[in-house]
Structure 1
């Protein structure tokens, strides 16, 4: 065992006792590399698992109760004899654990009580999808401890998405869970949501002379909930005009032929956001091709164009008013980089995080500059991790 595993085992035994077979679980965070608000419209994304993760150890305890202890949170217990969703457990770790137990039961497993100790170095509130990592960590633990057939990364990701939708109460897409389940850099096509098509690439930005940096604005996401919801809402209102549910079902030629009517009925912003979808969806494929070809210059150029589309057409960088933290962060990052690298909004947008591809010889000064403006520790560099979520016996 590694020193890290030994420390986890020691903590586990101090809390719950020893003498049992232990499983180690790993679930990484993720970064959206390409595809800003394309997944919910059945489009393409490129996402990468990161070198920050949830780590844990678990063992069966011979009861019907799950006991969970995680750094920074109050320990809790959960009875597995009732796996129905509970309103009181929405937006809670307990809700996610109950939801994953329900999902793993559907694979033919018999739920059994276990003890789980976890720690995480995923920055809180940073937009790196720690909730999906938690779902996958719990799911892989249950897969390992409860006898049954192996669960594929796609099936585990879909189970995690359903748990988050139904038990946690968040209507998320599948990108976060699937990219963390797969590991590495993955290109995912969501045209068929029941059967997303994915492929992985072994790629390290450092090999091409760049670091992936993320800067977090430290704002309260709840104030932008309505702004987030309006993005898919307006895109799908355009699709509905063609009798469709998502923009992937509407050929661009049909959209082009009805722009004037759409503007008159739905307003300009809905039309602009639909235009972003078509532009960004094409740019995702082109960026994936550039990564596969090892052409970092083409990738960076396309990333800059993606960032411009998000700011101008998708409009998820600023929502008006005097508070525009994401726009300020992008401008400051571009000021530090000048004509080098690339910057773009990351994830949902508005007050979340921005992404920058920074030349390796400028990483330290870039992080110091961004931290000076945003606060110590709000900007850091990440590496792509080729390992997706897994659990294995120690």
Structure 2
């Protein structure tokens, strides 16, 4: 569950904006992906866990058909729009479009065109690759499901709707992983998610193992960056090899087409094929508490993201190298998230946390000279209604 402070903040923002208490408060966590990057929209495997960071949404009905929103994390900035379809984009885009996108897909899914007061607050680091956007989308979905009695929509369906909002309204062609783990995470566990069937297998985190997330302070921009290009390249590779998704490809099949595939497209495909396999292999490593094997898989994943998928940046490569050096053989580190900045994730024995943190803070600086921000996190439960 999120910190009490966040609940106090969202209640205060709602009361200040609307002069009353909300009818419902929902929370949805951010996430970190331990391994399996960009494999979700290729129908492959991913191994994320929900985090003890969350976005909270307070909601109450209005007597008209207007949607009013206040965002405590943006100095109580507001937005207002009508509930009738079609819902237009905000002139400046940004966080209001995530809210508008969710309202648009929920209206299309049967939510009545009633007015709503909304307040938003949270502590998921923004722009760091911990999926603050999916956390917001899922928290909104859960709050509005409760407010309007949309009980036919289970958490998996809400995750699909939240993904649709980001794909079709915001314009980022993300896969299902971020929204699904935010909606369906389990405390104390990672989830191996088959992104084709959406089947999830809980994977207990070994006792005494810490999840360290280190913000590189290199800001990312998935919509404005090359995320959508990577998806197009993966689709081109699948088409060239005669499969519907790269989930259905293999390294021998890729080798068969090596003479005819564009070299860049082939590298993109190789990353997806191998990183999806690494996500499956990581389950056995975690189940046996084999941190050395997990570290090897994480290191190979980072090299693949750097060399084959070309989504790391020099500062991230340096940060991961520092983490790997400080952790040694009993654990590992890799970039996590969409790429081009954001965070590194590390798994390590809890007793090594202080020394590794000190090493990173002493030796890493972002290109702008900023120190890294280090979080030690725990696998949290997924989205829920709060008392």
Give TM-score, length-normalised by structure 1. 0.85
Q: CA deviation at 1:144?
A: 0.9
In the alignment, structure 1 residue 389 sits paired with structure 2 residue 375 = no
User: Which residue of structure 2 aligns with residue 321 of structure 1?
Assistant: none
Q: CA deviation at 1:10?
A: 4.1
User: Which residue of structure 2 aligns with residue 239 of structure 1?
Assistant: 238
- The answer as to whether partners of 1:236 and 1:246 remain within 8 angstroms in 2 is yes
User: Which residue of structure 2 aligns with residue 333 of structure 1?
Assistant: 323
Distance 1:51 1:243 in 2: 42
User: Which residue of structure 1 aligns with residue 28 of structure 2?
Assistant: 27
User: Which residue of structure 1 aligns with residue 212 of structure 2?
Assistant: 213
Shifted more, 169-178 versus 283-292: the winner is: 283-292
In the alignment, structure 1 residue 172 sits paired with structure 2 residue 166 = no
Query: What do residues 269-326 of structure 1 show as CA deviations (whole Å, max 9, x unaligned)?
Result: 32223222222221111112333455444433332332333334333324xxxxx111
Q: CA deviation at 1:57?
A: 2.5
In the alignment, structure 1 residue 363 sits paired with structure 2 residue 363 = no
User: Which residue of structure 2 aligns with residue 345 of structure 1?
Assistant: 335
Equivalent positions of 1:94-133 (< 5 A) are 94-133=96-135
Q: 1:152 to 1:200 in 2, by over 3 A?
A: farther
Q: CA deviation at 1:11?
A: 4.1
Distance 1:102 1:232 in 2: 24
User: Which residue of structure 1 aligns with residue 299 of structure 2?
Assistant: 304
In the alignment, structure 1 residue 280 sits paired with structure 2 residue 292 = no
Q: 1:231 to 1:168 in 2, by over 3 A?
A: closer
Distance 2:54 2:140 in 1: 13
Q: 1:66 to 1:104 in 2, by over 3 A?
A: same
Q: CA deviation at 1:25?
A: 0.9
Count of residue pairs brought into register by the alignment: 375
Shifted more, 101-110 versus 343-352: the winner is: 101-110
Distance 2:317 2:304 in 1: 13
Q: CA deviation at 1:378?
A: 1.9
Alignment RMSD (CA, Å): 2.6
Q: 1:224 to 1:315 in 2, by over 3 A?
A: farther
Distance 2:177 2:137 in 1: 13
Q: CA deviation at 1:47?
A: 0.9
- The answer as to whether partners of 1:80 and 1:98 remain within 8 angstroms in 2 is no
- The answer as to whether partners of 1:89 and 1:168 remain within 8 angstroms in 2 is no
Q: CA deviation at 1:158?
A: 0.9
Q: 1:223 to 1:58 in 2, by over 3 A?
A: closer
SS in 1 for 2:56: strand
Distance 1:88 1:132 in 2: 18
In the alignment, structure 1 residue 188 sits paired with structure 2 residue 193 = yes
SS in 2 for 1:315: coil
User: Which residue of structure 2 aligns with residue 36 of structure 1?
Assistant: 37
Distance 1:97 1:224 in 2: 16
User: Which residue of structure 2 aligns with residue 56 of structure 1?
Assistant: 57
Q: 1:32 to 1:147 in 2, by over 3 A?
A: same
Q: 1:230 to 1:241 in 2, by over 3 A?
A: same
Q: 1:362 to 1:141 in 2, by over 3 A?
A: same
Q: 1:293 to 1:326 in 2, by over 3 A?
A: same
User: Which residue of structure 2 aligns with residue 257 of structure 1?
Assistant: 256
- Runs of 5+ unmatched residues, structure 1: 319-323
- Runs of 5+ unmatched residues, structure 2: none
- The answer as to whether partners of 1:90 and 1:167 remain within 8 angstroms in 2 is no
Q: 1:226 to 1:9 in 2, by over 3 A?
A: closer
Query: What do residues 67-105 of structure 1 show as CA deviations (whole Å, max 9, x unaligned)?
Result: 222223243243334332424457433322222223223
Q: CA deviation at 1:132?
A: 0.7
In the alignment, structure 1 residue 200 sits paired with structure 2 residue 202 = yes
Q: CA deviation at 1:26?
A: 0.6
